[in-house]
Structure 1
């Protein structure tokens, strides 16, 4: 007997939710995660696509109701259909489930579901809706990225069944902010595209089936790393082990040296690993590191914080291409060498980005270069992935189709960098703080490395990069990084995008000196004579002696008025101000000289000629007239132009200007002349400043307009190229989601149909279903007392069967019901088993119309 005939029907869609085990409901002696502070609320973002409804059902079936968390679910829905997701999930959890509206405040113990045709983000503890945009990425990535920014270490991302690579890029932000990522085991997913993409990208902290995720998730949110993140200190009185023990273990057993990293950064990342491993004390974690080599490697990877991507901060790369790479391509001849270094390259995206930019600009100019990009990293696993050059489709989401076709080859769901591009990049292991650098480089891209290091290590790396660059080479830093106090080593090309040009020669002694000595100057400032150099020709000795005796006190400066060289005794005209050492000539100039000197430097630079000016220097209530000459110095080096500033006392006819300032009233003409000189110099400086400011404003305005125009064009082109692909993928995911919802409804209908079938089958009422042509559709077993019907008779006209009762109006009444759409009830003579004795019983029949 089948299920329908026996009255049995198996359905899991409406069964009471199985209560989770008590082990998940207990706090296990750890801190309680319940909190009235919305900022301390852990929020779990769940992303899924095709096959996601089944995975979500399994996840919430295993999730305790009193979990103290909030859940935000993003599923790819058909934008024109009403979503049934909230109703479906309500059958699998006792927590309130609601489809979100814009501005919904997040509360613990609630499940929030995305609305069709929208992006969903978390901001200030509330849910916000927006229209989907290709530039923002997939809705799952939008949710994860916003969650990382809003929750930090309390952000938890769950990736379930789905196609494509949705969610992988958002997981990078989650992990960078210290949150946790859970990824469905691919073998348990109906569609394993999303889980496999996250795993291949190395973004999965735990890989589990949906029903196992709640246990790992709740253990993490109950850990002290989440409950009290502001009080993170892995060195506690309860644990004799210290952070230093962890670093020593990493250095001794893994060869990883993190002594130059910020202590706060290291402590936070180590504490995160304790949370992920569900370990309470540092002692226990040190023991775990000693016995688990895999955890040692994983910890090193977490401490290095491998957050990178192709063309990350696209506007910064655009500025680099315009300010640095394009001029190099224009100036170099075909066949020339271009050398680039990318330290701390992680998995190689940044190094390949440089190679792509140079190749594109070279091809546009019709040139070919010997490009070598040296990419180094301290983690061998990163270098292995970088050499392979295979990346998930999510990493290519912002790529124009032309660039993707030009530089990548698709293999299944992965994109591999073309062999041509891989041959341009050389990957090598290197510890940036310990190993020697490369040399004669045109460009060093050291992005988002300094922010994790202490001040001393930062300054050492800056001098290291200066040493590695050729004269006029460029340094490219991250948006939150600067060159610090080393302004004498670099000139700022773009303050906003942190692009700097090297000044001075390449290989000086700064590389070996402590950072505190870097600002004291390249050469002595006083007139003390340096030790004589051996074997100098007599002519050179005579030239130097004449210069020392007869040449005026002078300084060599660059176009930014920074001193590069001192000659003679300059202490009468220059002095160091209080505070940190400086090389700014205008700050060192004595009282009264700076305004006139600034105007002379600008005029000499603008007109490229020698400029001589007089100024009144005041010292100890005495005025002294000084003649200053600013002369451009031709230079073949690309680090110029240079200017030579000479100081001499005024000519004899002007010596009478030396007088006590307190007696100026006795000599009105001299005082008036001094004031007029100073006023004239001030006016000239003001006029030069105004002209310079106006010119700068016009240039900035023009550059801004060009940048806006180019950005709009590129964005429009990118959107057009990606439209077809995005629409196709979106349509496919919508179909999968609609199919899942329809399957759920079909299950409900099957359940209802089975119940009705069992009801009618078990009833003693003779029931016959006919279609509009009076053909048999279905009949109850009791009808066999009135007609000789078999299951094979379904579909045959009822008129072909003999009646076991007398009712000549049966078919005519059926036609009347079909026409008038009203039921009919009549009496008929019931069949008898023997010979009619004239007392045949009377029965009733009802003909009703069922409209389907």
Structure 2
């Protein structure tokens, strides 16, 4: 391309949209399709990163020039990106975009993608944020996946070629697997999609007044019906920006057709919901913040009471990197403590797919770039193409699906990290969440927020430790219950105050209540409770309220924590035997004091059937005690007045518990021995497989790198072959109209080119063979002087051009030497032409 076409360097504008295209094997064709589909007025810069062999010069820029309306150039260090230009990354170079300009560097040695698409995408995300568009096309491996996550985190757009139509689906599948892709489409449609995205404004054009509110309500209702999440808590500005982006991806000009699309296409509704629930984070995101948090945690752990567990919560944890970051820091800080506390980190998120990724704990090597020195080897182990968080880190990190807006919080926490979540909420919800955090934290517990968030909406509940890094401490002088829960106190017991037709408290689905009613068919007691396999209360009948103590706030109720005093000891044995024997079990009668006096209570446990087979139905038979007996029990409740009957009852219960514990101990011992044996076998097999896997991984990376280079070279050769076919056809067409003969001969006497009526050169009836050398051709005798002149020039005995008159052939020969590919190799070009009078007479 002529240098004069190059635009003058101006100040970099990071609000100019940039489309970065990453591809590998099989990517040349879709790249050509995309750039050929962009018209000359395309208002964005395009950067193409195609994995290329580092040992061959690329002709990609030349290939694209023939098919596109935009200007094409090769990336050079320091060039400023300009709209309307296509920039091609050269072979064996990595490219980053910093402040709107290119920064090039040598590609890393070894079997790594060259150029790195991940590096390009990450730099584009940091430089252009919402004005960045990343496109992943055909290719092997997973390059580009980590970059897609970075673009999504920065608010950019991510587009992937449909893996089913890609020649090689490795890169598209890896990108789709991040759950951070905005659109998957066939390569033929991508140019139209990209043009729509680039042409659409970042700030949406919205209808005014009631129409806007009505349309937003329609969208929220549609998302709630499909995704089960009420997005009314989200700031309207955030919702509108996400909706506008989805409109542009679907080429919808306004909200009306897009709402119709949402109502008809559940997949689009899920895509919009996922774009609002940005499930993206990073290890040590905002590293300076985590360094400051580490210092505060060090002080907090030093003052932590010995023997007390350290409990932390990371709500909106996305794919788990932040939770694992906290886990690594805590393990690092506690390793040198004499009596380190047990650590539990609760990590929750609304997106189930993100939680599954977090539980797996497998991440790409590029995502670990921010880890401090030594952390990767200590806390992660290589697994395939990436790294997996080691089991000791995963064991202290508990992931679960949780709605921070509506679900009860965790309690008695020492630390909460709720970063970059509040910014998406309305002010009322921000205040409610901060009140929730205050309630969940212990006195002097620590709270960390995102860089643009603060505790201003919940004044008086937190004291700043570092406003710069958004680190706060719970104000222990304030004890206010969260306003969100004021209407929920004693909620589990409201059902008991309602009419009989609402006699049960629905903590469980109606199907569970039905299963309990079926199990109760043969029993007359109205006092019953359903518990799950963890002894969590799922349903309470109204009549059973007398046996239950109300909690002090919303909580997950374990039957042992809320049961009336005196019943728990007997009930534990009943629960254990019912689960072990899978049949109804009746416990011993227990005398206990209820609100209306002393009662004799007999507990029963019945296993449920079907899908609730792990749940138990607990029934309680109550019998009133005679006044004299009740009075005696009051006296027996005094330590100094216990008689032998009471002691014998206690001893009987202790014996039952001892037998149960002995049975449990024997079962556990047997299970432990079996598990230990299996563990040793698995460990041995795992070590062997790990060794084999490492060897295969190394070989695979080398083969994959070589394969990508060969495929790319092959594509270029195929492209050149097509060009050569066109050129050959052109030569043949020209040759048919030329009366002169043109011959190119190299120093080895090979005929490199022969064009024109060559039959006039040979003896009558003779034909040239493809293997014939120049000297062995069946020349007519009149051409012998020409052969001598050619030999002298090839052997460098003579130089310069020569004009020969071949009288016997009535022909003339122009001859001159040329260089052939290097100064050390000679070649000669000849032009033989006949006198006009002899053209019609070859003899």
**Normalised TM-score (structure 1):** 0.58
* Aligned counterparts of 2:105 and 2:701: Cα–Cα separation in 1: 15
| Distance of aligned partners of 1:824 and 1:109 in 2 relative to their CA distance in 1, 3 Å threshold | closer
CA gap of 1:759–1:138, structure 2 versus 1, over 3 A, is closer
- Is the CA contact 2:17–2:131 (under 8 Å) kept in the aligned structure 1? yes
Q: 1:442 aligns with which of 405, 414, 434?
A: 414
Q: Distance in 2 between matches of 1:851 and 1:103?
A: 37
Q: Match of 1:25?
A: none
Q: 1:472 to 1:216 in 2, by over 3 A?
A: same
SS of the counterpart of 1:186?
coil
C-alpha displacement of 1:201: 0.9
The separation in 2 between residues aligned to 1:273 and 1:773, in whole angstroms, is: 65
Question: Which whole-Å CA distance do the structure 1 matches of 2:373 and 2:734 have between them?
Answer: 60
Could you tell me how far 1:347 is from its partner in structure 2? 1.8
Q: Offset of 1:214 from its aligned partner?
A: 1.5
Moved more, 58-67 or 761-770: 761-770
Unaligned residue ranges in structure 2 (runs of 5+) = 1-12, 109-113, 487-699, 821-843
Q: CA RMSD in A?
A: 4.6
C-alpha displacement at 1:321, in angstroms? 2.3
Aligned equivalent of 1:456: 428
Q: Does 1:212 align with 2:186?
A: no
Give the equivalent residue in structure 1 for 2:289. Answer: 316
CA contact (8 A) 1:408 1:415 kept: yes
TM-superposition CA deviations, 1:459-495 (whole Å, max 9, x none): 2222222222233332222122222265654443333
Task: Give yes or no for the alignment of 1:180 onto 2:153.
Answer: no
Preserved CA contact (<8 Å) 1:239 1:281? no
Q: 2:243 aligns with which of 267, 270, 273?
A: 270
Helix, strand or coil at the partner of 1:492: strand
1:195 aligns with one of 160, 167, 172: 172
CA contact (8 A) 2:94 2:119 kept: no
Q: Counterparts in 2 of 1:6-85, with a 5 A limit?
A: 42-48=17-23, 52-74=27-49, 85=60
Work out the CA distance in 2 between the residues paired with 1:751 and 1:260. Answer: 63
CA 1:40 to 1:391, structure 2 compared with 1: closer, same or farther past 3 Å?
closer
Q: Corresponding residue for 2:310?
A: 338
Pick from 376, 400, 421 the counterpart of residue 393 of structure 2.
421
Are 2:97 and 1:121 aligned?
A: yes
Provide structure 1 residue ranges, at least 5 long, that are not aligned to the other structure.
1-37, 516-724, 831-840
2 CA distance for matches of 1:462 and 1:500?
11
The Cα of 1:311 is off from its aligned counterpart by 1.7
Note the C-alpha offset of 1:69.
Answer: 4.2
Equivalent residue, structure 1, for 2:781? 805
Deviation at 1:120? 4.6
Q: Determine if contact 1:235/1:242 at 8 Å carries over to the other structure.
A: no
C-alpha contact 2:22 2:136 (8 A) present in aligned 1: yes
Q: 1:346 to 1:120 in 2, by over 3 A?
A: closer
Aligned ranges for residues 721-740 of structure 1 at < 5 Å? none
Work out whether residues 129 and 154 of structure 2, in 8 Å CA contact, stay in contact via their aligned partners in 1.
yes
CA distance in 2, matches of 1:119, 1:776: 45
Using the TM superposition, name which of 360-369 and 184-193 deviates more: 360-369
Contact 2:51 2:708 in 1 (8 A): yes
Give distance in 2, aligned partners of 1:354 and 1:822: 79
Larger RCO (CA within 8 A; separation ≥ 6) = 1
Single out whichever of 387-396 and 261-270 deviates more from structure 2.
Answer: 387-396
Please give the alpha-carbon distance, in whole angstroms, between the structure 2 residues aligned to 1:755 and 1:843.
27
Measured at CA, do residues 802 and 107 of structure 1 come closer, stay the same or move farther in structure 2, by a change above 3 Å?
A: closer
**Distance (whole Å) between structure 1 residues aligned to residue 220 and residue 750 of structure 2:** 84
2:153–2:281 Cα contact (<8 Å) kept = no
Q: Deviations over 1:793-819 (max 9, x none)?
A: 6165835x7655256656543332222
Mark the CA change 1:735 to 1:395 in structure 2 (over 3 Å): closer, same or farther: farther
Equivalent residue number for residue 227 of structure 2: 254
For 1:300, the equivalent position in structure 2 comes to 273
Contact 1:775–1:798 (Cα < 8 Å) also in 2: no
Whole-Å Cα distance in 1 between the matches of residues 73 and 754 of structure 2?
Answer: 43
Residue 481 of structure 2 is matched in structure 1 by 510
1:843 shift after superposition: 4.6
Q: Give CA deviations for 1:275-308 in whole Å, capped at 9, x if unaligned.
A: 3333344444444333333233222222222231
Matched residue count = 586
Tell me the distance in 2 between the aligned counterparts of 1:286 and 1:773. Answer: 74
Residue 771 (structure 2) aligned to one of 777, 794, 802: 794
Shift in Å at residue 46 of structure 1?
A: 3.2
Q: Is contact 1:807-1:829 (8 Å) kept?
A: no
Q: 1:188 to 1:786 in 2, by over 3 A?
A: farther
Match of 1:815 in 2: 791
3-state SS in 2 of match to 1:212: helix
Task: Give how far 1:178 is off.
Answer: 4.7
Q: 1:845 to 1:485 in 2, by over 3 A?
A: closer
**Cα deviation code 1:666-715 (max 9, x no counterpart):** xxxxxxxxxxxxxxxxxxxxxxxxxxxxxxxxxxxxxxxxxxxxxxxxxx
In 1, the alpha carbon distance for the partners of 2:162 and 2:262 equals 25
- Return 395-404 or 262-271, whichever deviates more: 395-404
Residue 684 of structure 2 corresponds to which residue in structure 1? none
CA distance in 2 between counterparts of 1:288 and 1:485 reads: 37
Cα distance change, pair 363–92 in 1 and its aligned pair in 2 (3 A) = farther
Q: How far has the Cα of 1:163 moved from its partner?
A: 5.7
Distance 1:785 1:219, change over 3 A: same
Q: Distance in 2 between matches of 1:726 and 1:78?
A: 15
Label 1:762 to 1:165 Cα distance change in 2 as closer, same or farther (>3 A): same
Q: CA offsets, 1:52-73, max 9 Å, x none?
A: 5443212122223344444344
Residues 273-284 of structure 1: pairs in structure 2 closer than 5 A:
273-284=246-257
CA gap 1:209/1:294 in 2 versus in 1, 3 angstroms:
closer
**Counterparts of 2:163 and 2:35, CA distance in 1:** 19
Indicate yes or no: 2:325 matched with 1:348. no
* CA–CA distance in structure 1, aligned partners of residues 85 and 97 of structure 2: 16
Per-residue Cα deviation, 1:348-404 (whole angstroms, up to 9, x for no partner): 222222223333444466887643221112222322332233334442344478544
Cα distance change on mapping 1:265 and 1:767 into 2, 3 Å: closer
- Normalised by the size of structure 2, how large is the TM-score? 0.59
Alignment CA distance shift 1:413-1:449 (3 Å): same
For residues 146 and 452 of structure 2, the distance between their equivalents in structure 1, rounded to whole angstroms, comes to 21
Secondary structure of the 1:391 match is strand
Aligned equivalents of 2:288, 2:462: Cα separation in 1: 22
User: Shift in Å at residue 108 of structure 1?
Assistant: 4.8
Pair 185,454 (structure 1): closer, same or farther in 2 beyond 3 Å = same
How far 1:751 sits from its partner (Å)? 4.6
Say if 1:495 and 1:753 are closer, same or farther in 2 by CA, change over 3 A: same
CA distance in 2, matches of 1:408, 1:188: 35
For 2:222 and 2:778, how far apart are their aligned partners in 1? 94
Q: Secondary structure at the match of 2:781?
A: coil
SS at the partner of 1:428?
Answer: strand
How far residue 735 of structure 1 moved from its aligned partner, in angstroms, is 8.9
Matches within 5 A, 1:597-636: none
Structure 1 residue 446: Cα displacement? 1.0
